[in-house]
A and B are shown apart, each in its own frame.
Chain A
Amino acid sequence: MSSTAASAPAAASGASAPVAVPAAKSPKPGSLKRRRTLAQWGFIAPAVIFMLLFFGYPLVRNVVMSFQHYTPSTFFTGEAPFNGLDNWKNVFQDDLFGKALWQTILFTIGSLIGQFCIGLALAVFFNRRFPLNGVLRSLILLPWLVPMVVSGVVWRRILDQDTGVLNSFLGLFGAGDTPWLSSTGMALISVIMVNIWIGIPFNMVILYGGLQEVPKEMYEAASLDGASAWRQFRSITLPLLKPVITVVLVLGFMSTVKILDLVLALTDGGPADSTQTLGTLTYQNSFAQLDFGAGAVVGNILILISAVFAVFYLRANRNEGK
């Protein structure tokens, strides 16, 4: 290949057919085009094959697995007999499924509202010009970049009922005995709080990006007309930010609904399954109980829920492109 580039005649004849210089002497137009197409697909095909293996195959396999009976011995014998709808029935009859579904809904809605509102407030704040704005803005990203398991472990220490710093701080005001992670009533709320903390930077950065696109003149005009800051926010910022808001919420939904790392690090799904979600339930079924069939059922439901929102995302993305 390197020699053809050096020799002038080859370069000249290769002008129309850079792919195959020797074949360029008597090309059939059809085959030449096909070769060119093939060469072009050569760039794309490896990634497509990779994605088919690591996303497509698991999706299909998961559906098949949900109709199979898996036991720990399956992995030695390789035998996983089909058992119809047994897995599905078992999962739906188990009270834990309903509980996990409900907790997933609470977790997702609570996290999204908190992340979004605080993220938006911070984005609006950082949209003003002031010294050190850029530095502060990028340092706020740190919680989002630190591995989620690590954040979970750190918060587990902070939220410890007896020796955690949050309770000793609240103790200064005479209210320092909250069992953040150790009571069934508080654990889910605590996990939501931590997830809000993790999600704020992401929301902030994207919304900030959206705010940057809003023309400054619109605010100037509005304030000359005497519109209050709140009025400007409602009538200019929010409508113009709508496409970005959709994207942020849908992406936030996607990453929240399947949560696993954080819950395992904070509570392991406990106490008494009070922080069990569909993500952790899939994990528990498959990798703790080694019932991969049941895990696949919960996983498929998780996919169904995600798919509904994927439609929203793709529509939002399409509008964005226009």
Chain B
Amino acid sequence: MATTTPAVSARTPGSPAENRPKRRWGATIIGIVILCVMLFPLYWMVNTALQPESGLLEVSPVPHSLDFSGFSSAFKEQGSHLLTSLGVALGAVVICLAFSAPAAYGLAQFKLRGTKTVVFGTLITQMVPGIVIANALYSAYVDLGLVNSYAGLMLADASLGIPFAIVLMRSFMVAIPREVIEAAEVDGAGKFRTFVQVVLPMSRNSLITAGLFSFLYAWSDFMFALTLNTTDDVKPITLGIYQYIGAHVGDWGSVMSAAVLSAIPAAVLLVLSQKYIAAGITGGSVK
């Protein structure tokens, strides 16, 4: 838009100092407007959650008086599902890292025949539609007695993160200098000890990013929760909310409260670990 003029006028001394800050803050204001539009639905979620029984009425733009009854009923009815989500997601993270970190290391550093095929396979798995997996997995789970089990859901949810984690951590571990690993092995550490005591600490950032994303994948999972459970024994919050809208059509305050509660981990993780999340989105896809 205005990029040509400033580039020319910047040549004349004096003017940029007066000009630039103003124009920059203009962009900031536009940025804030964009952000407000993009985040409006999330604002509306919180806003609706804080208003009393708003089922058949229009919701006012701001809550006049804060009403936490939606939250308390959401907590009462969905609290256990939040805990289930937390447990399943943490379990999935552990499984995911336990399988993918050694594999990423092996694929990055060992000269083995067949590793190219494995890397290729890892890319392919990211393209298999989840519902296809659920379709076949369900009948296998029935045979194995894994339907309606925490272990079954954790394993299925871990599968969402494993290919991604391998690709991400591998692209990081390729950069570890051979000399560092060889030095550790010369000192008498076995392959496994070298991995645990040298490679893992050096890859801390990529481990955190991979763990963060496998947590988010598992926390957000709805499809496996929906298909691999036939009873209410193992019900994560995503499934809880889905069934909640069916049962509580009138009570949007409670539904939105539950939605807010389920969105909190994403918000917290985003605030605490912006750089890991940005690294994960770009690193996992482009590299």
Contact = CB atoms under 8 A, between A and B. Distances in A.
Interface of A: 1, 4-5, 10-11, 14-15, 18-19, 21, 37, 39-44, 46-48, 50-51, 54-55, 57-59, 61-62, 65, 75, 78, 122, 125-126, 128-134, 136, 138-143, 145-151, 153-158, 163, 165, 168, 197, 200-202, 205-206, 209-210, 219-220, 223-224, 226-229, 232, 244, 247-248, 251, 254, 257-258, 260-261, 264-265, 279, 282-283, 286-287, 292, 295-296, 299-300, 302-303, 306-307, 309-310, 313-314, 317, 320
A149 B242 contact: yes
B112 A41 contact: yes
Interface string B27-42: 1101110110011011
Given A50-B159, A317-B123, A125 B277 contact: no
Given A44-B110, A59-B136, 20 more contacts: A18-B185, A40-B191, A42-B102, A58-B132, A59-B132, A129-B24, A140-B34, A147-B220, A147-B238, A149-B238, A157-B59, A157-B252, A163-B56, A223-B8, A229-B1, A244-B286, A254-B127, A282-B131, A299-B129, A320-B287
Could you tell me the dominant secondary structure of chain A's interface residues?
A: helix
Nearest to B38: A140
Contacts of A39: 191
B259 interface: yes
A278 to B, nearest CB: 8
27 contacts: A1-B193, A11-B187, A14-B188, A37-B112, A43-B105, A46-B98, A47-B166, A48-B103, A50-B162, A51-B121, A55-B159, A58-B136, A59-B132, A62-B132, A138-B270, A139-B39, A140-B39, A145-B277, A154-B42, A157-B45, A163-B58, A228-B4, A279-B129, A283-B226, A292-B139, A300-B132, A314-B123
B222 A261 contact: yes
A125 B118 CA distance: 39
Given A156-B245, A247-B286, A251-B285, A303 B128 contact: yes
Contacts of A157: 44-45, 48, 59, 252, 255-256
B165 to A, nearest CB: 9
Contacts of A163: 54-59
Interface stretch (B69-77, B203-211, B261-269): B261-269
A116 B193 CA distance: 46
Contact of A205 (B102, B123, B278): B278
A75 B222 CA distance: 23
A273 B59 CA distance: 29
B84 interface: no
A224 B8 CA distance: 7
B19 interface: no
A18 B282 contact: no
Contacts of B216: 145
Interface residues of B, number: 113
Contacts of A147: 219-222, 237-238, 262-263, 266
B187 A150 contact: no
A299 B121 contact: no
A5 B189 contact: yes
Contact of A142 (B112, B131, B227, B267): B267
A153 B220 contact: no
B129 A75 contact: no
A142 B270 contact: yes
Interface string B63-105: 0000000000000000000000000000000000011101101
B140 A138 contact: no
A307 B245 CA distance: 35
A287 B230 CA distance: 10
B71 to A, nearest CB: 15
A300 B112 CA distance: 33
Contact of B126 (A140, A201, A205, A254): A254
Nearest to B115: A44
Q: What 4 pairs across the A-B complex have the smallest Cβ distances? A: A47-B103, A11-B188, A43-B106, A58-B136
Contacts of B4: 223, 226-229
A46 B102 contact: yes
A133 B28 CA distance: 7
A55 B125 contact: yes
Given A138-B270, A142-B39, A18 B191 contact: yes
B52 to A, nearest CB: 14
A229 B6 CA distance: 12
Contacts of A210: 286
A220 B7 contact: yes
Given A40-B191, A205-B278, A226-B4, A148 B133 contact: no
A296 B133 CA distance: 10
A168 B223 CA distance: 33
Contacts of A44: 102-103, 106-107, 110, 112, 115, 118
A299 B41 contact: no
A142 B277 CA distance: 11
B132 A51 contact: no
Nearest to B24: A130
Nearest to B216: A145
